[in-house]
Amino acid sequence: MSLYAGITVGVVAVVCLLLLIKIRNLKVQLQRKNAIIAEHAETRIDILNNINQEIRTPLNAVIGFSEQLGHSSMEKDQRELLKTIERAAGMLVRVVNNVQDLSRIEKKELQLEQQPFSLYQAFSEIIVMMRAQASRKQLQFDAFYEGNRQLLVTGDLMRLKQILINLADNAIRYTDSGAVTIKTIVHKLEEGKAEVKIIVTDTGRGITADALPLIFEHFLRRRIPYTAAVNGAGLGLAITKGLLQLHNGSINVNSIPGTGSTFSCNILYNIALAPQTLLITQREVEQMTGHFMEGRYVLVADDQEMNLVLIEKILTRWKCRFDKAPDGKEAYDLFCANNYDMVLLDLQMPRMSGIEVVKKIRTDKDTIKANIPVLALTADTTLQDNDAFLEVGFDGYLLKPFRERDIYNVIIQHLPYNPSQEIERIKS
């Protein structure tokens, strides 16, 4: 090899080495930037969670006391004002729930429930709700269900409803005149599977081609010109896409500016057998007579006075006996001194937390008292994992804000059934 050739090879080798070093340094820089971005995203979500939690406690009081006020006698104009308050509170609940769901989706903490439910019943309940919303905007609202109306599937009922609500609400929100159509098509497949296709069509403003890639991204709604005159947090479609991905489903959109949009998605469910449930539970949930709670003795602990007052009003309507405690220590002292049918505990309380109280309850020498049903009442959206509550000793939990029907439904699922109550109800 000539001297010139040797020098050339050496130069090439040095250049290659420098390039490798440069590439390695760029990769290190990129990894650092990605780590910083991930840390900022994590911090942003944590801040949102903290704000979310702080909003939930006073919101629980607004919703709860509004509902209790609705049980009293009022003038027509007062009841109309109350309805406005309830609608506004409902909008706030959707915002805080969306922020919570977005956080859990981003952190990959959201898990789907697996319980049997009726597809047709879920569809019908959402249609009633969204038809009223469309009527307020004087829009034509059409709904179609194709498939076996008796079919039960196993899956997450609330998440399916959330998908339906988000898509329907989005269509109504961006349609100023014309119609919104929702169609659910159910195909029974082989091997015990059912495919559900949801199609939502509107005659609204439509979406421009440059905006289409952004509509499923959270926090980007303000960047899209066509949404400038519409209220909303811009999270609904991002959450819908995340929920569908959890279902191993998909979502597609076709849109023409000035003409309208069509969103379609697919979910695959396992077909379920009819569940065996107590008749009284279904009746009590639907009619909310409160009879199942009459005469029960309940302990309630919460360091927020407004929450204690709200629970007091609810339990009074149900004709319950109850004791209240403003902190965990007093709650545990009351538990030791009395024999309750159920205990409701806020998680974050002074002197003793709800978790500390339930752990002491489970180690009580009296086995009957140690196995009393204990439910957690919490505004902490980071703790929504039923297994985590079960591990520390709770039988279940209820996330604030809640309505009377919500807490009633959870309570009667965990209280032992008393046949004598049903006998008395039949006699009456």
Per-residue pLDDT of the chain (428 residues; tens, 9 = 90+): 555 555 565 666 666 777 777 777 777 777 777 666 656 656 666 666 677 667 777 777 777 777 777 777 777 777 777 777 777 777 777 777 777 777 777 777 778 888 888 899 899 989 988 998 899 899 999 999 999 888 899 999 888 999 999 999 989 988 999 999 999 999 988 788 899 999 999 999 888 888 887 787 765 444 444 444 445 556 788 888 988 998 999 899 999 898 999 999 999 999 987 654 434 444 444 455 567 788 889 999 998 888 888 888 888 888 888 999 999 999 999 999 999 999 999 888 888 888 899 899 998 888 888 889 999 887 776 655 556 777 788 888 887 777 788 788 888 878 775 544 444 444 44
pLDDT given for residue 426 in this prediction:
41
Structure tokens at 188: 């029974």
- Which of 326, 291, 333 lies closest to 311, judged by CA? 326
What is 61-83 written as a DSSP string?
Answer: HHHHHHHHHHTS---HHHHHHHH
> Which architecture, in CATH terms, is 3-106?
Orthogonal Bundle (1.10)
CATH 3.30.565.10 placement within the chain: 115-271
- Give me the phi and psi of 21, to 5 degrees please: -65, -40
Residue 204, amino acid: G
Instruction: Give CATH 1.10.287.130 domain extents, the chain.
Output: 3-106
CATH 1.10.443.10 fits 115-271, yes or no: no
What phi and psi, each to the nearest 5 degrees, are found at residue 291? -60, -35
Among 222, 250, 251, residue whose Cα is nearest residue 234: 222
Two tokens, residue 41: 């995203």
Mapped onto helix, strand or coil, the DSSP state of residue 81 is helix
A 10 A CB-CB count for 391 gives 9
Which distant-in-sequence residues (6+ apart) come within 8 Å of 115 by Cβ? 154, 155, 156, 157
pLDDT at 330: 92
- Beta carbons of 412 and 293 less than 8 angstroms apart: yes
Rounded to whole angstroms, how far apart are CA atoms 5 and 374? 84
The torsion defined by the Cα of 193, 282, 308 and 322, in degrees rounded to 10, comes to -140
CATH 3.40.50.2300 boundaries in the chain: 279-427
Paired tokens of 391: 């591990």
Tokens representing 329 are: 């220590």
- Give dist(CA 145, CA 291) in Å, integer: 36
Q: Which residues pair with 181 in a beta bridge?
A: 142, 201
Q: Which residues contact 404 (CB under 8 A, 6 or more apart)?
A: 64, 67, 68, 288, 314, 317
Respond yes or no on whether the N-terminal peptide bond of residue 401 is cis (omega within 30° of 0): yes
Q: What are phi and psi of 296, to 5 degrees?
A: -70, 155
CA distance 426 to 201: 48
Burial of 351 (0-12, 13-18, 19+ CB in 10 A): middle
Q: Are strands 396-399 and 374-378 parallel, antiparallel or unpaired?
A: parallel
**DSSP helix/strand/coil, 128:** helix
Q: Under a CB-based contact definition with an 8 Å cutoff, are residues 147 and 188 in contact?
A: yes
Q: What is the pLDDT of residue 202?
A: 94
Question: Environment class of residue 314 by beta-carbon count within 10 Å: exposed (0-12), middle (13-18) or buried (19+)?
Answer: buried
pLDDT of residue 382: 60
pTM value > 0.75: no
The structure tokens 């602990």 sit at 301
Distance between CA atoms of 204 and 198, rounded to whole angstroms? Answer: 18
Element (H, E) at 265: strand 260-271
> 279-427 belongs to which homologous superfamily?
Response regulator (3.40.50.2300)
Residue with tokens 């009351």: 334
